[in-house]
Structure 1
C-alpha cells in the first residue's frame, strides 16, 4: 500500500477532537434540585453529545460574589461534581474568582467540555432526508416553567421540576442510527425546528397533539404568555431519525431514565417551503410563525 494511502487510512481511524463552551447566568442561580453549576455542566455536555462526540473532560470558571454563604458555595461545588460524575466526564481544571457584592448576581459559571468524535460521518443537518422522523427525548418547557415560576412567584415550581440533566449516556447507544441531533436550549424546540427547516429548504411537519408537555408546565407558561415550543429546556434533545429506525431508537430512549417520555412528534416532508408546519387534531396545518420578541424569556 502506498505510504500516502496508509497515512490517510490511519488519520481516518483517529478520533477527531471536539469542544463546546458556554457561559451561564441563571436567575435564580439556585433552584429546586439544581443550580447554575449543574446547568453549566449539562449544557456543554449535551451540546457536545448532540454533535456526535463523546464528552471526556470538563473545565470550569466560577465567579462568586463576596459574601455568598458557604453552604451555597458547597452546594454549588457538590452539584458540579455530581453532574460531572453522572455525565461520565473528568473535571480537568477549575478556576475561581471572587468579586465585590452586587457585581455577579451571586454566581456566574463558564464551562468547556472536551471530547472525541468517533470515525465515520458526522451528525449534520445536511444528512436529513424527506421521510425522516422528528423525536424529542423528553417533555418540553419544564426548565423554563420551573425557573419562571420561582422568579415570578407563581407557585408551580413544586409541581414542575427542571429537566436539567446530562444526556450523553442517553444519546450514545443511538448515535449510529441518527441523521442529526440538536440540544433544545434557549428559544426552545421552535428555534431548533426553524433553523433546520430554513437551512434545508424542506418542510418539518409537527403534530401538536404529540408534543410532550406537562400540564402544569403548560399552565405556568401560559400565565406568562409563553408557548411551550418557545420555552427553554436543559435536558432535552431533538433527533432526526430515518423512518425505518424510529421504533428501535424510541425503544432505546425509553429504556433510559432520562428518555422515558421520548416521543415521535413529526416528520420531514419534501415540500421545499423551508417552513415548520403545526398539524392540529383536526388534521389542518398552519405554519409556525416567527419568534415572539416578547414571549421567550432568556434564562441562561
Structure 2
C-alpha cells in the first residue's frame, strides 16, 4: 500500500500532511461565528459542557473515541435539560497514526453528530511525537439552549422518588475489557455508546433530576447524588439490568457492573406518580428498551447508598481504592 494508506495525516512537528486528506474535505461546519450569532444572544440561556476523552483502545468494535467524545459531551448537556445544538472538538493525534484511522475517526464524528442532531462548530487538531499519546485523545465541548421545562436540579429530588436506569449497566466497560484482555465477549456485548438527547427529550418534563452513568458506574453516580442531596438512596441489586456476557467479562477483571463505565446509560430520578409514564416512553425508544426501576429515595438524611442484596439483606457497599480499571472511557 502507498503513503496515503499507511502514514499519519500529521508529522511529529505539528505540520499536517494534505496528501490524501484535507481538513476542508471533512465537512465540518457551520463554524464558531454562526454559533455565536445564532445561540449566544442575550435572550437565550446557553449551557456549555466539556470533557476530555481517553479510551483504551481508542478504536473498538462498534465505535471509537470520536463517537464516545461527541456522545459524551451531548449527553452531559442533555441531562441538564438543555437542547444540544453544537459541538466543538480538540483532537490530539500521535504521529504515525494510520490515515485510515484518521478517516474512520472523522467519519465517526460526523455520524455521531448527525445522530445527536448537532452541528460540529469547530475542530482543532494538534500532533505530538510518537509515544507521547496513545494514538488519539479528544476534548469535546457541547453548546445548547435551555428549553422551557423545569430545571433538573438535584435539590428537587424528594423522598419516594424512583431511581430509573435507561439501559443495561457496564456494557461499554465490558466491551473494552474484553478487547484488551482477549476474552472474546466483545462480539456478544457491544459498547452502548449513543447520543441520548432524543431520549431525554421524550421524558425530560417528567423528571426531577438526571445524570449520565460514566466512569465509576452507577455506584459513583448514586454516591454523588446521595451526598449532594443529603438523602439515602436504596437500590435493589436484583433489579439492575445487566447483560450476562457483560457480567462475565467484568467478573474476569474483578469488576462489578455497578462500578463499570457506560457510554449510553442515564440515571433518572422520577416522581412515583410519573414512573409508569416515563418507563413506557423510555421503552418505546431504541436507547431505552431495557429501562428499569432499580431503587428509590428514602427520607433518611444520612446521605448514603443502601443496597438490597439478593438474599434480602440491606448492606452498605464500599469500593476499594484503585479497584476500578482506568481509562474505561
Considering the TM-score relative to the shorter chain, is it more than 0.5?
yes
Tell me what 1:70 maps to. Answer: 99
SS of residue in 2 equivalent to 1:150: helix
Tell me what 1:230 maps to. Answer: 259
Q: Is the 8 A contact 1:275 1:288 kept in 2?
A: no
Structural RMSD (CA): 1.3
Tell me what 2:230 maps to. Answer: 201
Instruction: Give 1:148-187 correspondences, 5 Å limit.
Output: 148-187=177-216
Shift of 1:98: 2.1
SS of residue in 2 equivalent to 1:258: coil
SS of residue in 2 equivalent to 1:186: coil
Shift of 1:16: 1.1
Q: Is the 8 A contact 2:168 2:242 kept in 1?
A: yes
Partner Cα separation in structure 1 for residue 222 and residue 121 of structure 2: 34
Partner Cα separation in structure 2 for residue 186 and residue 298 of structure 1: 9
Q: Is the 8 A contact 1:143 1:232 kept in 2?
A: yes
Q: Is the 8 A contact 2:77 2:144 kept in 1?
A: yes
Q: Deviations over 1:191-211 (max 9, x none)?
A: 110111112221111111100
Q: Deviations over 1:259-280 (max 9, x none)?
A: 0011110111112221111112
Greater CA deviation, 116-125 or 88-97?
Answer: 116-125
Structure 1: stretches of 5+ with no match in the other structure: 1-12
SS of residue in 1 equivalent to 2:169: coil
Q: Is the 8 A contact 1:16 1:119 kept in 2?
A: no
The one of 24, 40, 56 equivalent to 1:27 is: 56
1:242 equivalent in alignment to 2:242 = no
Tell me what 2:83 maps to. Answer: 54
Tell me what 2:176 maps to. Answer: 147
1:261 equivalent in alignment to 2:290 = yes
SS of residue in 1 equivalent to 2:122: strand
Partner Cα separation in structure 2 for residue 298 and residue 174 of structure 1: 32
Partner Cα separation in structure 2 for residue 173 and residue 214 of structure 1: 25
The normalised TM-score by structure 2 is 0.85
Tell me what 1:213 maps to. Answer: 242
Shift of 1:120: 4.7
Partner Cα separation in structure 2 for residue 215 and residue 132 of structure 1: 29
SS of residue in 1 equivalent to 2:74: helix
Partner Cα separation in structure 1 for residue 311 and residue 138 of structure 2: 46
